[in-house]
Amino acid sequence: MVDVTALQSAEPVIGRLVVVGLGLIGGSFAKGLRESGLCREVVGVDLDPQSRKLAVELGVVDRCEEDLAAACQGADVIQLAVPILAMEKLLGRLAAMDLGQAILTDVGSAKGNVVRAAAEAFGGMPPRFVPGHPIAGSEQSGVEASNSELFRRHKVILTPLDQTEPAALSVVDRLWRELGADVEHMQVERHDEVLAATSHLPHLLAFGLVDSLAKRNENLEIFRYAAGGFRDFTRIAGSDPVMWHDIFLANREAVLRTLDTFRSDLDALRDAVDAGDGHQLLGVFTRARVAREHFSKILARRAYVDAMNSNDLIFLAQPGGRLSGRIRVPGDKSISHRSIMLGSLAEGVTEVEGFLEGEDALATLQAFRDMGVVIEGPHHGRVTIHGVGLHGLKPAPGPIYLGNSGTSMRLLSGLLAAQDFDSTLTGDASLSKRPMNRVANPLREMGAVIETAAEGRPPMIIRGGNKLKGLTYTMPMASAQVKSCLLLAGLYAEGKTTVTEPAPTRDHTERMLRGFGYPVSIDGATASVESGNKLTATHIEVPGDISSSAFFLVAASIAEGSELVLEHVGINPTRTGVIDILRLMGADITLENQREVGGEPVADLRVRAAKLKGIEIPEELVPLAIDEFPVLFVAAACAQGRTVLTGAEELRVKESDRIQVMADGLLALGVKCEPTPDGIIIDGGQIGGGEVHGHGDHRIAMAFSVASLRASAPIRIHDCANVATSFPNFLALCAQVGIRVAQEAES
């Protein structure tokens, strides 16, 4: 009898478990549950006497029965682990028995055929039948290979139907979890589609390729030279032929669908080889390579991460330290985004150097790959973009996922509003909370058709095929993202698009458009573009990101005895607010070796420790230092006296509410501060140790790492994974210059 209410207890909760079919999967299931103590008795059934004998000897089951009816008498759960084509006959026999209240489940690799066979045998799908599929196995087979750990950290997919009893589902769910499996529920059809693509098709290709090569007369010659590629690709051709023959017959429809799609993709590759179309080949190969890297990461994380802590990457920062040395921070994020966008829209091949290989800029890169642009790299900051021209983008195959990156979403929305295809833009939890009406509304005025979720949040659905009209727009907020979005839309809009900003914001879009030979007129606070021109490929050298440098500017300022040089930092006047504010606070920062690189001013920044004092931050500097406030608040906490920030309400709609989140963290560290609607008041003094939260916001995590230099005890910073969005080697550079922050060892 199954005691569903006792499902959480350590006592046996199942009387009798019957496993029909003692192969690798059935045997491992039986053995694992027998060892768990969850079942009072585990009974095996198998046609083969040798398997039955071994199963008892090896402790896989308590006892075995030859006769199915005898075994199933009084069973609580019956697991069907026979080859998939034997399932129909087995179900027919079970249907003729009185199974009482027994729960049925199975392990078949295809689900549609099992469900059909069960419905036929029982005259309708039994409500106590829970179809299942463990995605696990090994080259070994037979009961002697039974391994109670086989399913640990492997996925098991259950495919309940509408009529499946929830209680039966939760029993089967519990059994698999007891074996350490990661259980997911899915619809039958979806399961069969997914498995056809990810498992069945690759097996078909592997068997097919080996056979095709082996048939040839010169096969011995060929195989003598078959090295890594052949070995890697065909490993799975060593799998059990009978089992696979069963699977293809069982999952025929889904396999045919995925095979047909693949066949037409293969034909396209054949045509490209035939036509000598290297561009097409490079496109397929570069896309495949990143996709493969992406999947590997997903798989690797799955292998090491326990669901409980998967999102909480913790930085542990030790108090004290002094900075010295010369470093180069990674490339500018804003410029990196724009290099991909404009390089893609240009005619010809654009080479980029110093590209930021952070997740945000990579999201933009991937978006353009998805829209058919061939992009090589990034490799050590080098990217080669084969531009498609202003009208060469193709629809992405699905929604474009932009992760944490507001810049990607806002700038892309302008560009996509003018295409002749529909696009959907989505993002992570943080991006999904950020306001998009600031771009959607003026774009609608230009004639764009855009849908958003409630209150203008992502996802954004951007309809194609709308002719845009030029707009004269005065922005209600100082936002380079809004300005850039509208200028990009303006490249396609009829007539002239003019954007006026209430205060100066970063002008990388305007500079880079000109760098690509596209005319932009600038008149004070107003920038305009007209459609009808083109972008011509160019060479871009991305300077170091002043926003990333800011952490070290503050760190070296507050840590006594420090002297540090930051090389090759972009010092575009629309970005240097952080230097101005720190200097007003008394910081010792000098600019050396000033030069211009590809239309952007660059310098080496030398910073020495200094006694900082609190100030009232001039409001006109706010947009020029908009991303640097989290770490400037740390400077203020170390300064003598009071620092007051006003006119910075924009900080509340960044990757987190940076006013509130920083105030919470500073208060937790014993710093006196008070958030206000548009800023904060901070009284400098002693920083203590403690626990703070990054809230998925890269700049918060890095700011509190810097705070440790003046803390009296360690600071533990939760939720730091997103540091990789803008500064993937932050911890390494910290270690190099003397900030003692590291990822907390996984327990």
Choice among 580, 627, 697, 719 that is catalytic = 627
Dihedrals phi, psi of 368, to nearest 5 degrees: -75, -35
Compute the half-sphere exposure of residue 676: CA atoms within 13 Å on the CB side of its CA. Answer: 11
Q: How far is the CB of 85 from ligand S3P (least distance, A)?
A: 58
Q: Which lies closer to ligand S3P via its Cβ, residue 30 or residue 626?
A: 626
Strands of 491-638, DSSP E: 496-500, 521-523, 526-530, 539-541, 563-570, 588-597, 600-608
Q: Decide: is 334 part of the binding site for ligand S3P (CB under 6 A).
A: yes
Q: Decide: is 650 part of the binding site for ligand S3P (CB under 6 A).
A: yes
- Give the range of 33-41, 259-267, 475-483, 675-683 binding ligand S3P by CB under 6 A: 475-483
x/- track of binding to ligand S3P for residues 385-414 (CB under 6 A): ----------------------x-------
Q: Which lies closer to ligand S3P via its Cβ, residue 28 or residue 479?
A: 479
Q: Which lies closer to ligand S3P via its Cβ, residue 164 or residue 725?
A: 725
> How does DSSP classify residue 536?
B
Compute the half-sphere exposure of residue 352: CA atoms within 13 Å on the CB side of its CA. Answer: 35
Our separate counts of H helices and E strands in the chain read 25, 32
Q: How far is the CB of 548 from ligand S3P (least distance, A)?
A: 11
Q: Where are the alpha helices (DSSP H) in 13-48?
A: 24-36
Q: Decide: is 341 part of the binding site for ligand S3P (CB under 6 A).
A: no
Tokens for 50? 């040798």
Task: Determine contact, residues 404/427, Cβ cutoff 8 Å.
Answer: yes
Q: How do strand 382-388 and strand 374-379 relate by DSSP bridges? A: antiparallel
- Give the range of 4-12, 478-486, 633-641, 662-670 binding ligand S3P by CB under 6 A: 478-486
Buried b / exposed e across 286-314, counting CB within 10 Å, b at 16+?
bbeeeeeeeeeeeeeeeeeeeeeeeeebb
DSSP 238-286: GS-HHHHHHHHHHTHHHHHHHHHHHHHHHHHHHHHHHHT-HHHHHHHHH
- Give the range of 3-11, 49-57, 158-166, 476-484 binding ligand S3P by CB under 6 A: 476-484
Q: Which lies closer to ligand S3P via its Cβ, residue 494 or residue 649?
A: 649
Distance CA 540, CA 522 (A): 22
* Active-site residue flag, 627: yes
Q: In sequence order, what are the residues at sequence separation of 6 or more whose Cβ sits closer than 8 angstroms to the Cβ of residue 96?
A: none
Q: Which lies closer to ligand S3P via its Cβ, residue 632 or residue 638?
A: 632
607-626 residues near ligand S3P, rule: CB under 6 A: 626
Residue 384, helix vs strand vs coil:
strand
x/- track of binding to ligand S3P for residues 177-206 (CB under 6 A): ------------------------------
Q: Decide: is 481 part of the binding site for ligand S3P (CB under 6 A).
A: yes
Q: Which lies closer to ligand S3P via its Cβ, residue 102 or residue 542?
A: 542
Q: Which helix (H) or strand (E) holds 365?
A: helix 359-370
Residue 344, helix vs strand vs coil:
helix
- Give the range of 45-53, 231-239, 274-282, 480-488 binding ligand S3P by CB under 6 A: 480-488
Q: Which helix (H) or strand (E) holds 366?
A: helix 359-370
Q: Which lies closer to ligand S3P via its Cβ, residue 371 or residue 436?
A: 436
Q: How far is the CB of 395 from ligand S3P (least distance, A)?
A: 25
Q: Which lies closer to ligand S3P via its Cβ, residue 113 or residue 479?
A: 479
Strands of 531-598, DSSP E: 539-541, 563-570, 588-597
Q: Which of 394, 396, 376, 393 is nearest to 385 (CA)?
A: 376
Which of 164, 364, 423, 479 touches ligand S3P by CB under 6 A?
479
Q: How far is the CB of 138 from ligand S3P (least distance, A)?
A: 48
- Tell me which residue has its CB nearest to ligand S3P: 334
Q: How far is the CB of 626 from ligand S3P (least distance, A)?
A: 5
Q: How many residues bind ligand S3P (CB under 6 A)?
A: 11
Distance CA 59, CA 31 (A): 7
- Give the range of 313-321, 479-487, 560-568, 594-602 binding ligand S3P by CB under 6 A: 479-487
Residue 643 forms beta bridges with which residues? 682
Q: How far is the CB of 484 from ligand S3P (least distance, A)?
A: 6
Task: Determine contact, residues 355/542, Cβ cutoff 8 Å.
Answer: yes
> How does DSSP classify residue 346?
S
x/- track of binding to ligand S3P for residues 292-331 (CB under 6 A): ----------------------------------------
Q: How far is the CB of 491 from ligand S3P (least distance, A)?
A: 16
Q: How far is the CB of 536 from ligand S3P (least distance, A)?
A: 23
Q: Which lies closer to ligand S3P via its Cβ, residue 193 or residue 501?
A: 501
Distance CA 486, CA 493 (A): 10
Q: How far is the CB of 622 from ligand S3P (least distance, A)?
A: 10
Residue 169 backbone class (left: φ over 0; alpha: ψ -120 to 50; beta: rest): alpha
Which of 505, 528, 548, 576 touches ligand S3P by CB under 6 A?
505
Q: How far is the CB of 644 from ligand S3P (least distance, A)?
A: 21
Contacting residues toward ligand S3P, per CB under 6 A: 334, 407, 479-481, 484, 505-506, 626-627, 650
List residues with catalytic annotation.
627
